[in-house]
Amino acid sequence: MLITANLPLNRDKFTQEDQILTITGANWSDYQKFDSQEYSGYRVSYFNGEITIVSPGRNHERISEVINRLIIAYCEKYEIQDFPFGQTRLNVSGQTGREPDIAYAFNCDKDLPDLVVEVIFSSGDIEILKSSYQKIGIPELWVWKNNKITFYYLQQNSYIVIESSKILSRIESASFIKYVNRGMTESPLLIKRDFLTII
């Protein structure tokens, strides 16, 4: 029976913010049992014996969608072939696995994306995120958290912070974030229009 009355919960908060479940003491076999069709709409990751299940809230999805549309707009403007991965599970068997918010290969189709974008809205450990994608071998990682976006580039098996994307070279983190954060209150159509004037 579903109880709907008089609960001390802010229902609006639960629709806007991410819901996160962490399972400790897990192994790789446990992680593999999480089928993407059975858990559609969830992001499931594995690192160091922990499975994390994220149900993205509305704000998370809005930020992700704005970033996605701006990347597509950039590729269209400069005629860069893009090959989306969506939330395809990326992993190093037995070690780490992630289902990114956004992922693309550029210029030609590849086994791994060139760029992964992750939105951390309610909570999340950036160092675990970086360690995971470093093991997988993702060349460039963008992380949005607390209304800021940081670009990381994989160099000598470690991520360094960069101000401008190495892959989409006209995008700078400092200016890009101004357009991304407008997604909380504005239509992506208007944001994309303005973004295309500065790249």
Residue ranges of domains in the chain, CATH in brackets: 57-195 (3.90.1570.10)
Question: Per residue in 70-113, pLDDT tens?
Answer: 999 999 999 999 999 988 999 999 999 999 999 999 999 999 99
H or E, element range at 173:
helix 173-180
Percent of the chain residues past pLDDT 90, beyond the cut: 78
| pLDDT band of 159, cuts 50, 70, 90 | very high
DSSP annotation of 196: T
Six-digit token string for 71: 């990347």
Closest CA to 130 of 110, 146, 151: 151
How far is the CA of 73 from the CAs of 48, 126, 183, in angstroms?
Answer: 37, 27, 15
Q: Give pTM, 2 decimals.
A: 0.89
DSSP bridge pairs for 73: none
